[in-house]
Structure 1
Amino acid sequence: MDIKSLKYFLAVVQEGNISRAARKLCIAQPPLSRQIRLLEEELGTTLFIRGKKEIQLTQEGRFLKQQAGEILELLEKTQEQIGKFGSGVHGLVSIAAAESFGIGLLSDMVEEFHGLYPDVRFQIWCGNSDEVRDKLERGLADVGIVRAPVYMEQCEQIFLRSEPWVAAMSREHPLAQEQGEGITLKKLGGETLMLPVRDQLQEEINHWFNELAQEREILCYYNSSASMLPLVEKGMGIAICPGSARYFAAGEGIVYKTITEPRKESRLYMVRQRYRILSRAAGAFWEYASGQEKGGGQG
């Protein structure tokens, strides 16, 4: 199995038909069909279910599609970055960021860094912190931005900033009518809540209520602020989320109140694989973030 056979395989997948794929690749159909058969023989499995006009992927074919896409993406990224060594700070920085972080601090960092190094481009992927770790471990991201607690033994980390935990509620909720921008943790104890799906964050939040010996009713667990906030706006519950979640819905229907007594903080870190060599562009971005840490972060 080589790069050419993977590219041929993906072309057939994308076109759904060997004849169309051959035209796209500017080769004859018989050699392409032969390459696909050889790939199946080498792997010892059937990748396609062949119909009269269209072909469909088998389970093994779907798995190879996923893996081949990532292999070719990593190859392209590696070739581009190697070509930039010794030629100044150019190229691509691939960042995997915790979702609620992406619109806030990250945009400020990218803007400032791009002002320093205008020839650098960015690839930004957003997900939860566990998905960010997976991207790093598979070499599909240069650096990651995650929310504590951070359990990454093979990673270096840079503290970026802390932000308050907030309670997001419908503007019609009685607690939203109260004066002030804060809300005590005790007042949230009797409410229907929505919590982050990540286990470590659930444990942290549940520990707050355990310290106050308060029961809590959980409506749902969410991995995306954007998906949870419509439920909040409908008055179905109060979401406990990082302060930067307000970037996803700043409309009239939702009120954010900072959790107080005691105030709760969420800490954000940039991480990288400890023994992975960064490209010149990614290394410059890491050094830039290190300078932000020494200078006291972004807030």
Structure 2
Amino acid sequence: MELRVLEYFLAVTREQSISAAAESLHLSQPTLSRQLKDMEDELGKQLLIRGNRKITLTEEGMILRKRAEEILELVRKAEHEINISDEFIAGDITIGTGETDGLRLITNTAKELQQHYPHIHFNIVSGDAVDIMDQLNKGIYDFGILLGDIDTTKFDAIKLPYNDTWGVLMRKDSILAKKDVITPEDLWDKPLIVSRQAIKQHGIPLWLRKDSNDLNIVATYNLIFNASLMVDEGMGYCITIDKIINTSGNSNLCFKPLSPKLNISLNIVWKKYQVFSKATEKFIIALQQKF
């Protein structure tokens, strides 16, 4: 399968029309139709449903669209890195990160690196560990910032001198807001909002001393801002880490730490044995020197 044909396929998915895609690609409509039919024959699957008004995708077509976007992004990234002149260090560094105030350590290092190499550009993408590790494995992200233990068989890592503190985000007018700390028993009968990972790891299940099936979990989240809106609307109590949501001033929310206290470490990781650009090599050196 040629990269050129993947570009054609994505153009059709964007335009939802073979004629419009052919016009944007400066191809004749029969030529484009033939290329797409040859691709379907090669894969042995129908990818496009050719309707009267627009083109839609089959289930196999949706899978190919996702993979084609990833493949072409990697190709563009590789071309960009190869074409950089040896005379200066430049390029993009993509970092996937969960929500943590510890990101300041990384951004400070990035700022210092840009002072020496102003042509290095950083892309920061938010997500949870599931998303980040998936993109690291595919080579879409160069680095990931992850909480807790790391799979050292797949990733190299630098442990950062920072720990996040677990606690509960709640409304200031809630029953538990009067307490200084939150115990497991406080949450056993409360409606809980939890991250899709924390309820299974990061020490939370052990701390709660309850199976998740015995808890009243009303919602899950992967980004805490969205969870904070649910808390603000009175849906429940959110188990999260400190210093992400602003609870000062006129905020309706407050944060209470857990008791016994529960902290979690922070790591910056990258895929083992990958080939780095000059920019990513400089960033790793800067991280190693600093931490």
* TM interval, short-chain normalised: 0.7 to 0.9
Q: Identity across aligned pairs (percent)? A: 29
Give the distance between the partners of 1:249 and 1:146, measured in 2 at CA.
Answer: 27
TM-score (norm 2): 0.87
Partner SS, residue 123 of structure 2: strand
CA distance in 2, matches of 1:224, 1:243: 14
8 Å contact kept, 1:97–1:128: yes
What letter corresponds to residue 169 of structure 1 in structure 2? M
Shift of 1:290: 2.0
| Unpaired segments ≥5 residues, structure 2 | none
Aligned to 1:77: 77
The residue that corresponds to 1:176 in the other structure is: 177
Q: Once structures 1 and 2 are overlaid, which stretch shifts more, 15-24 or 169-178?
A: 169-178
Q: CA deviation at 1:166?
A: 2.4
Aligned partner of 1:29 in structure 2 is: 29
Q: Counterpart amino acid of 1:176?
A: A
1:262 positional shift: 2.9
2:5 aligned residue: 5
Could you say which residue in structure 1 is the equivalent of 2:197? 198
Contact 1:102 1:126 (8 Å CA) reproduced: no
Q: Equivalents in 2 of 1:275, 1:250: separation in Å?
A: 48
1:45 aligned partner: 45
Deviations 1:209-232 (A, max 9, x none): 339xxx864433322212211221
Question: For 1:253 and 1:200, how far apart are their aligned partners in 2?
Answer: 25
Residue of structure 2 equivalent to 1:145 = 145
Superposed displacement of residue 14, structure 1: 0.7
Shift of 1:189: 4.1
Give the whole-Å Cα distance in 2 for the aligned partners of 1:248 and 1:141: 32
CA contact (8 A) 1:94 1:282 kept: no
Aligned-pair CA distance for 1:244: 3.7
> Structure 1: which 5+ runs fail to align?
294-299
Which aligned pairs between 1:210-289 and structure 2 lie closer than 5 A?
Answer: 210=209, 217-246=216-245, 252-259=251-258, 261-289=259-287
- 2:281 is paired with a residue whose SS is helix
Over the residues paired in the alignment, what is the CA RMSD in angstroms?
A: 2.6
| Aligned position for 1:290 | 288
The amino acid of 1:132's aligned partner reads: I
Cα distance in 2 between the residues matched to 1:122 and 1:99: 17
CA contact 1:191–1:216 (8 Å) conserved in 2: yes
- Would you say the 8 A contact 1:84–1:280 is kept in 2? no
